[in-house]
Amino acid sequence: MSNPLMLFSLIVVTLWIILLAIFLYLIVQKRKDLRWKKEVETYKRLYEPILLRYVAYGDEQVPAPSSSAQYVAMIELLDHFIRVLANGDVRARVTSLAETYFADYLHKQLYHRRLGRRMNALFYIEDFELRSFLPELENMYEQKRVTTMEKRQLLKMFALFQHPHVYEYMKQTDDSFTQFDYRLILSRMDDETFAKMVDHFFDWNEKIQYAIIDMIGIMQKLAHIPFLLTLLRHKQSEYRVRALKALAQMAYPLDVEQLHVHFQSSVWQERLMALRLCARTRRQEMVDHIVLLMKDAVFSVRSQAAEALLRMPNGLDILEHIAQTSDDRYARDMALEWLERGREHD
């Protein structure tokens, strides 16, 4: 009996020692992290007035960093300044200083074993617009060990830096990329590259196609309105829905004849987006058609129809008339609901 008991005791003591060692290690690491953060904050206070005068006026001599804490302090300060004091001169000075002082440091961070360090380096290269890193970023993108997260960030940077092969790189993306990822990439493209994406619209996968349509509306790219108008006639409803949404975001007016087919669509999302376009353009000749959609079977469509009517110059009067005279109970209820909202904000 003594041998099993001794063995159990030995295991317990060993586990206790291991746990104690881990606990002590965590305490030591926590203290090191606190000392590191304190050191960085100290250098921030030292560098802040110097860097602020440099980025604002360009006539300050900035001492070169000589330690990791100094590098981090300067980089974080400059990253903050470039967001707060965003103008061409400030950005040019920050880029120049970053090229001079941070290139070697960021190069080392790009090859760090920890993903977080590599990603931070990529973010700073993007923020400081360090185009000199492009060849290195190309090599990084081609490596087998590069993660999907890094690929997303690299593609955003290639778009921002107007890389000549960003179009080809986007053809190599896999299913892990989301529509949101593609929107971020497209948002950084110059007009010429974006136009090329639109010109070859039907060569892309659906995620990229939908992102292209969305970004035309979000970024108010008026030059591509004719393209959206062609999509309104496409047999695939998702194209029509997204094209209507983009046109609504740009408040581009369509006449009654153009919208009639969308009001009559069997796809409720299409009817909804046609009404949203009416709400943005506020054209009086649409009122009769919108009133009919107050009786729609889909709650969201009825609600959007009521909002569109409320936005008309005499919207409250129209809704009150529907609430009092409509033969459709759902239309009356919806009109009353939006009457209350309208009066609250009147």
pTM score, two decimals? 0.83
Nearest 5 degrees, angle CA 227-CA 231-CA 237?
A: 155
Q: How many domains does the chain have?
A: 2
Q: Is residue 215 part of a domain?
A: yes
CB–CB of 129/161 below 8 Å? yes
Chain-centre distance for alpha carbon 305:
29
Q: Are 343 and 261 within one domain? A: yes
Query: Which residue is associated with the tokens 């060692």?
Result: 21
Angstrom distances, CA of residue 104 to CA of 132, 145, 165? 12, 22, 26
Write the pLDDT tens digit of every residue in 49-74. 999 898 888 877 888 998 899 999 99
Q: Which of 252, 284, 302 finishes a domain?
A: 252
Q: Which of 102, 146, 105 is nearest to 128 (CA)?
A: 102
Q: Are 270 and 341 within one domain? A: yes
Q: Which CATH number belongs to the domain containing residue 230 in this structure?
A: 1.25.10
Q: Which of 229, 252, 275 finishes a domain?
A: 252
Write the pLDDT tens digit of every residue in 197-224. 999 999 999 999 999 999 999 999 999 9
Q: Are 260 and 328 within one domain? A: yes
Structural domain harbouring 313: 256-346
Query: Which residue is associated with the tokens 């830096």?
Result: 161
Q: Which two tokens stand for residue 21?
A: 């060692």
Q: Directed axis angle between helix 329-344 and helix 299-310, to 10°?
A: 50
Q: Are 266 and 210 within one domain? A: no
Q: Is residue 78 part of a domain?
A: no
Rounded-to-integer distance, Cα 224 and Cα 237, Å: 19
Q: Which of 234, 252, 270 finishes a domain?
A: 252
Averaged pLDDT for residues 167-175: 88
Q: Is residue 300 part of a domain?
A: yes
- Checking phi first, is residue 65 left (phi over 0); if not, alpha (psi -120 to 50) or beta? beta
What is the overall mean pLDDT for the chain? 91
End-to-end CA distance of the chain: 87
pLDDT at 274 over 90: yes
> With the C-alpha atoms ordered 188, 191, 192, 195, is the resulting torsion angle positive or negative?
positive
Q: Are 239 and 300 within one domain? A: no
Q: How confident is the model at residue 343 (pLDDT cuts 50, 70, 90)?
A: confident
Rounded-to-integer distance, Cα 307 and Cα 314, Å: 12
Write the pLDDT tens digit of every residue in 96-143. 999 999 999 999 999 999 999 999 999 999 999 999 999 999 999 988
